[in-house]
A and B are shown apart, each in its own frame.
Chain A
Amino acid sequence: MTAKRTILVLGLGLAVALLAGWVAFPRALYSRRHQPLEFRHKTHAEKSGVAECSQCHALRDDGTFAGIPTIETCAGCHSERMGTSKAEAILVDTYIKPGQEIPWLVYARQPANVWFSHAIHVKRVALACAECHSTYGETDEVRIYEVNRISGYSRDIWGHSISRLRRAPHEGMKMSDCEDCHRRHNLEVGCLGCHQ
């Protein structure tokens, strides 16, 4: 066998592996899903005069985070159709009128054994929403929801970059990302400080 042939075969193997690992794998690993409705943050903020994230994504009095607002909040304005878009039609007919909660796909969903307190991070430490959630909430972007077929969690948890290199500052919500920030700020928290 010639050396040239050997190199060719090796190179082919390497090329296939690299292509599979860096291109095909990330594409195949994630399945793409659409949110049940196309919700546009910027439009809503402008039209209803909402300036702060916390006005809809509120902190309750007992310190728990309400997360994505319930259908009651939407019904506050949308009890009847306000516009002509298809999304609005679905909103009013499928969710508001029957009183059904919208099954939003949550990008930041953490495992059941994680305890994250928005009260501590947002109210006490005054961390900006964009630090973890990016400035998505200031745009009209309707993001696709990519979910990892094996683990079942959103792509946002690992971060978009499959190698975790050259990430945007807000990208990634794995335990190591929380730990990095805590280490930078010299805030040691025991296991049960974040787990339950």
Chain B
Amino acid sequence: MKVTRRDLLLWGAAGAAGLAITPVPWKLLDDVSIWSQNWPWIPQPTHGPVEVKQSFCTLCPNGCGMRVRMAAGWPVGIAGVASHPITRGALCPLGYGAHQLNWHPQRLRTVRHRTNSSSWEEARAAFAKACGEGPIAIIDGYPGRAASSVFESFAQKRGSYRAVLGPEMQALSPYEMWSGVPAAGLGYDLENAQTVVSFGAPLLDGWGTPGRFTRLWAERAAGSTDPQLRLIQVEPSFSGTAPSRTATRAWQWVPIHAGAEAALAAGLARVLLDEHLVSVSARGPMPPITLAEAADETGLSIGAIADLARTMVARPPVLVIANDGNPAIAALNVVLGAAGAPGGIVRRAKHTESYASAAADIGSARAVLIDSTVPWNFAPPTNAEVFRFAAWDGGSCTADWLLPAPGFLEELTDVPTSPASAIATYAVAPTLLKAPPGVQSAAQFLFLSGIDPTLMPVEKIIHARCADLFRERAGTLQGQDTTPVAKFASVQKLEEQLWKGAVWIGEPPRSAAFRCALKEWPATARSAQSMSSSSMNWSKAWRAPVLPPLASKLYQESSLREAPEGRNA
């Protein structure tokens, strides 16, 4: 019997009909639809027990309180700490993406010597050799930490220590010159000021601790035509570039010609002194400028300058904030009586040391060691051998040695007072994430090199500092509750709280504890920083060599912000 085509067709038809009454088509449809929604290349989150750990962000010297949500030991979410006395739960926009930094494609994992791959042994040997041949300059981007004290100890015997100071601290250096109190011991008493005049400082976006001034401003000024906190922003206007957020949200924006800050400060001081708008006891030196000259340089009219001066003192206390070390603006504060008064520049209770700025001449160093906290664009002198520590490669590195340092929350450190704070604080940021193999911090490197056997490891220094806090019996510990230090029974109990995320807060500032002696008005050159609008670029305040990947939401996937300058990622 031959099998014909008709047979096959009939057989096929019956088969198809038969299949329809089997589960095959329906089950296959269901399975294929599930298969098409489970592509293997779509990443899946890890599942595991979730815990929330508390630490502090150490990516810039503000040390904001940070809670990290961890699933199966990996960081999956970031939030602020509402009970932190200064940050009050706030973080900068970049902090919310910081937990992804440790996997950034530019993460450094191996030692590099110029363009070649190298090893820690070779780096140590080169460093030991350099130590034997001449002085070593150590550059620290985050002074005041336990690691910083390792650097300072090392540098005392073998070279020099320099700190990179942000604009908040730079602006305090004139007061150090005039009072002898180190800039690191001074702060801005914003909490008690009623009028704040900022000369280009981006107070509402990238100045000081993210949650501090913006929160004060939000609570006391936002939306009000007669605010309790008057924010006056003196900022040049550049055509083609949007003014800063601080300028367009301030109570008053004073647009001046670029670089004329010193002239305006001098002009204002003249009005204040001429019209006796400041108390005699606070009188400072008369600036050597006429109002006409000031008007000419700033682009404001004489009347406008006079009005501004009167407005400034209408609601005291008034505080003037510069965005760099321009002494003319600091002198204005002295004339106003704000240097050493409540609501002005105050002295934090704790004694501190003076930092030599990294901008100052390093001298003839044989080698320079740059800590991972130093901003990537810091350029060391080229005749020295440069040992640069960094967790990420910011690109175009000119250092001789590029050494992989621990990344985000990968190493134990302490958190000294943030640069602009009016009160001293202290906290401990424990390690929350395991560092990958082959990374080492600069402090560990120095300690392990054995070159200076008197160096102490960071952990020991932290224990010693906690012991000091306990012994002094001053201040309070703020965690879930607030407890005076004097109430702690032992240093172990105090340390336990600190390691869990509590913050030590010092006594309120003693404004009378510092006085400026200023005989004559400081001579100043034009403020170089404000000459170009690029100084306003938002990403400058972020110290790490790379931005968190999610920052792209802010400037690339939206037009909220301009592209970050001088950063390739």
Contact = CB atoms under 8 A, between A and B. Distances in A.
Direct contact of A and B (CB under 8 A): yes
B16 A150 contact: no
Contacts of A163: 23
A10 B24 contact: no
Contacts of A158: 27, 30
A13 B23 contact: no
Contacts of A162: 23, 27
Contacts of A62: 50
B38 A151 contact: yes
Interface in B4-59: 4, 6-7, 10-19, 21-24, 27-28, 30-32, 34-35, 37-38, 44-45, 49-50
B18 A14 contact: yes
B44 A13 contact: no
A12 B11 contact: yes
Nearest to B17: A14
A21 B24 contact: yes
A13 B15 contact: yes
Nearest to A23: B22
B6 to A, nearest CB: 6
A17 B35 contact: no
A6 B49 contact: no
B10 A64 contact: no
Interface string A4-21: 001001111111111011
A76 interface: no
B23 A20 contact: no
A16 B35 contact: no
B44 A112 contact: yes
A107 interface: no
A103 B21 CA distance: 39
Q: In terms of DSSP, what is the predominant structure of the interface of chain A?
A: helix
Contact of B16 (A17, A29, A60, A153): A17
B27 to A, nearest CB: 7
B6 A1 contact: yes
B23 A10 contact: no
B18 A18 contact: yes
Contacts of B21: 18, 21
A104 interface: no
A1 B5 CA distance: 12
B38 A13 contact: no
A111 B21 CA distance: 29
A25 interface: yes
A14 B45 CA distance: 47
A20 B22 contact: yes
Given A9-B11, A25-B23, A66-B49, A151 B18 contact: no
Nearest to B42: A112
Given A9-B10, A10-B11, A13-B10, A151 B23 contact: no
Interface in A21-61: 21-22, 25-26, 29, 60
B23 A22 contact: yes
Nearest to B25: A21
Nearest to B3: A9
Given A21-B18, A25-B22, A151-B38, A64 B12 contact: no
A16 B14 CA distance: 9
A13 B6 contact: no
Contacts of B27: 25, 29, 158, 162
A20 B14 contact: no
A148 B23 CA distance: 14
A11 B14 contact: yes
Interface of B: 4, 6-7, 10-19, 21-24, 27-28, 30-32, 34-35, 37-38, 44-45, 49-50
A-B pairs, 3 with minimum CB distance: A21-B22, A17-B18, A13-B14
Interface of A: 1, 6, 9-18, 20-22, 25-26, 29, 60, 62, 64, 66, 111-112, 148, 150-153, 158, 162-163
7 contacts: A12-B14, A13-B14, A14-B18, A15-B18, A22-B23, A26-B23, A29-B27
